[in-house]
Amino acid sequence: MNPNELSKIIKNRRAVYHKFYTGEKVPHEVIMEMLENANWAPTHRHTEPWRFVVFEGVGLEKLADFQAMRYKETLTKEVSFDETLFEKLKSKPLLCSHVIAIGMRRDPKRSVPEVEELASVACAVQNMWLTASVYGAGCYWSTGGVTYDEGAKAYFRLGEADKLMGFLNIGMPDESNLTGRRRPVEEKVMWVTG
């Protein structure tokens, strides 16, 4: 492979939001390849902490209903009901071809610090995201909804020590010229040369 190709793939990956999804389904084989490539993320002590729940078809309705229900259930006296947010939770997953819930399964032996498990899962997500983008599928990692709702974790087969890290929303986009921006890497790097 030409190394320039890899740089292009990395730089062309974009967050593609629901409003760009056409409703067309991302082929099953692409989702499978995304998951397979996720499984090759780096992992300290081979804990392989990434766990995924894939929602498609009627599964998307179930996810939408679940997150809307949890929103209602977890409202406190201090927070008033937001009809717009409720409707978003109930409708947004239905715009996707697939939604993949991103979980971190904590190693029972605690072989490595938690931050390393989270880093490993993030690498797995990047593998999925890059794979989707080379097939022309759009993705977007979201951390809204029930992401930080402790009471929602069991729904995603996660235990107390595990973490839900958000959702990879996936759809075929109608826009292919999405531009990205980053501040220069020089701002974020220090060299030690002697």
Ligand X SMILES: Cc1cc2nc3c(=O)[nH]c(=O)nc-3n(C[C@H](O)[C@H](O)[C@H](O)COP(=O)(O)O)c2cc1C
Residues near ligand X, by CB under 6 A: 14-15, 141-144, 166, 180
The encoded tokens of residue 89 equal 């939770």
Say if CB 168 and CB 131 are below 8 A apart.
no
Calpha distance 18→172 (Å, rounded): 10
Cα separation, 73 vs 64, in Å, equals: 14
- Between 30 and 138, CB nearer to ligand X: 138
Which residue's entry shows tokens 């993320």?
41
Q: How far is the CB of 54 from ligand X (least distance, A)?
A: 19
Residue number with CB closer to ligand X (97 or 169): 169
| 15 contacts: CB under 8 Å, gap ≥ 6 | 139, 140, 141
User: In whole angstroms, how close is the CB of 155 to ligand X at the nearest point?
Assistant: 19
Distance of closest approach, residue 22 Cβ to ligand X, in angstroms: 18
Q: Among residues 30 and 121, whose Cβ is nearest to ligand X?
A: 121
Residue 81 Cβ vs ligand X, minimum distance, rounded to whole Å: 21
Q: With respect to ligand X, which residue has the nearer C-beta, 57 or 87?
A: 87
| Cα-based distances in Å from 148 to 20, 41, 47, 59, 65 | 26, 24, 23, 21, 17
